[in-house]
Amino acid sequence: DIVMTQTPLSSPVTLGQPASISCRSSQSLVHSDGNTYLSWLQQRPGQPPRLLIYKISNRFSGVPDRFSGSGAGTDFTLKISRVEAEDVGVYYCMQATQLPLSFGGGTKVEIK
């Protein structure tokens, strides 16, 4: 099974400042079809997860452009260019390259 490891566990950020979250997989996420099925999800308190980014760097419909994803192989990053109050929550990376699908442990973004 692929293990997803996120750092940091918590990220206190000043409003308007950037935030960055890292995700590392225990093996390459490049699928045999050439795609890399790495997604980022946001979970606000009391809500289900919400898709932000799919296939490393593609923003899902309605996601603000302050969110961006990058990376390749086993190392991936989610960046928020300027954190807003509504960005508070827990962020998860998820791989769908191989069954079983697996999630990172989460990174909590909070305002300083």
Partner 1 sequence: QVQLQQSGPGLLKPSQTLSLTCAISGDSVSSNSVVWGWIRQSPSRGLEWLGRTYYRSKWYNDYAESVKSRISINSDTFKNQFSLQLNSVTPEDTAVYYCARYGSVWSFDYWGQGTLVTVSS
Candidates 25, 39, 42, 74: give the one binding partner 1 (CB under 8 A): 39
Tell me if 91 contacts partner 1 by CB under 8 A.
no
Tell me if 100 contacts partner 1 by CB under 8 A.
yes
Residues 10 and 111 sit within 8 Å (Cβ to Cβ): no
Separation in Å, CA 97 to CA 30, 39, 47, 51, 74:
7, 10, 26, 17, 12
Give me 83's structure tokens: 């954190």
Measure the CA–CA gap between 84 and 80, rounded to whole angstroms. 9
Q: 45 pairs with which residues across the strands?
A: none
Candidates 26, 58, 70, 81: give the one binding partner 1 (CB under 8 A): 58
Candidates 77, 103, 108, 110: give the one binding partner 1 (CB under 8 A): 103
Q: Which is nearer to partner 1, 26 or 58 (CB)?
A: 58
Phi, psi of 98 (to 5 degrees): -140, 140
Tell me if 107 contacts partner 1 by CB under 8 A.
no
Binding interface with partner 1 (CB under 8 A) = 35, 37, 39, 41, 48-51, 54-55, 58, 60, 92, 94, 96, 99-103, 105-106
